[in-house]
Chain A
């Protein structure tokens, strides 16, 4: 039987994003050369929310891009499922930019590895930082996040899902036991 637990509600998500926004500004000493890239699909809406918060705090409009990493996945060879390919849209040069990658859940780290390979194909960023709403552990590659909303220790048989108003109609982070 599926046991579902809500570990973060709408207010919690909002507060975490606000804190992450301030942390990004603190670590980078402002918004110079900064840009946001949201990883499809979970990171895109979070990146847009971060952009709004940063504009509110600093008064600056940061460039924002969308990255679909399907073509860079390391498991295409092994899996039968083929996720529907989404569009990548990064309408500005990444050369000499400080890129903040945004995703919803950091898990094995393979998505971020793929995202970095993709970004390097677009140009030469000055640096790449990673902001995630949830870090659930179980890294399979040496990858870490610079900005984390919440650390959520989890078991491998659980799944962590970030639901957002923009796509699911509700803001909440849910952990559920997939054991049948």
Chain B
């Protein structure tokens, strides 16, 4: 079985079979990161360019480690230190990179659709590492992998996603993915952070944390994105925290075996209390570990062997 796509641009275009293939393959890659010599020769001689126009710790390091563990050559380009500061356009950057013949380009950009434009323009495989507020498919894949690992399944679970849904690419990709895989998704946040027609995506909407997390299996907290909003959407962080911070009191409303997730980086005390983030319900660091495996799986499926 193989992935017939050239690129991974969004969860929206992935079928259930493709998602299962990626998750199954990722499971087999977990073990490589536990070996003494954490390397396999599979992508030897292949080059992966990580083209990041936005700040990143997790995603970029995760892709770099994933590529290196597969023996690929990884090249990191950060916009602030590249010719982008001299005014070079995305199109020119892409064409120049294509001329150096890498095998895959991983791109994170503030403009939705940037990876899609690249995918049409260059022959390399493009992986979307986050495009504006649109999609972040590798995050959703690692989230689904973690849920499946911990709960044994995704279908039939109740998953609450809480925070700035409207501006969150993590939320959008997870909503697409979890609903495709049969989970029941609940979203919650202040009214102005919930997209108007989110109900059309097949989710239940609440404006109240307590109602949203009642009896759920998984709670996914989203970071309040201070850098993404130009206008003040809420009066203060403390006010947001009063109503929407997950803590040891309100978490009791969820199922007893509830698990807490967060894409990172966490704002301790704002959307998640420190003891919850570090406590026994939290699988936040498992998400990060699985992130490397998922990205290894994607690189292997896209550029391992002949296309």
Contact = CB atoms under 8 A, between A and B. Distances in A.
A84 interface: yes
Contact of A87 (B28, B41, B300): B28
Residue from A72, A76, A81, A85 whose CB has the most chain B CB atoms within 10 Å: A85
A71 B304 CA distance: 9
Interface in B23-41: 24-25, 27-29, 31-32, 35-37, 39-41
B306 A78 contact: yes
Interface of B: 1-2, 21, 24-25, 27-29, 31-32, 35-37, 39-42, 70, 297, 300-301, 304-306
A79 B28 contact: no
A76 B35 contact: no
A82 B41 contact: no
Interface of A: 68, 71-72, 76-82, 84-89, 117-118, 121-123
A122 B36 contact: yes
Contacts of A79: 305-306
Question: Top 4 closest A-B pairs, CB basis?
Answer: A76-B305, A71-B40, A82-B2, A85-B28
Contact of B304 (A82, A84, A117, A123): A82
A28 B118 CA distance: 59
Contact of B41 (A68, A71, A80, A84): A71
A110 to B, nearest CB: 14
A66 to B, nearest CB: 10
A148 B45 CA distance: 37
Contacts of A68: 28
Contact of B42 (A76, A81, A88): A76
Q: Is the interface of A mostly helix, strand, loop or mixed?
A: loop
Contacts, number: 58
A84 B25 contact: yes
Nearest to B306: A80
Given A85-B297, A122-B36, 20 more contacts: A71-B32, A71-B40, A72-B42, A76-B304, A76-B305, A77-B306, A81-B2, A82-B1, A82-B2, A82-B301, A82-B305, A84-B24, A85-B24, A87-B27, A87-B31, A88-B32, A89-B31, A117-B41, A118-B40, A123-B36
Q: Which of A71, A72, A78 has the largest number of chain B CB atoms within 10 A?
A: A71
Contacts of B24: 84-85
Nearest to B31: A88
Contacts of A84: 1, 21, 24-25
A79 B21 CA distance: 19
Contact of A121 (B2, B25, B40, B70): B40
Contact of A122 (B1, B35, B305): B35
A80 B29 CA distance: 21
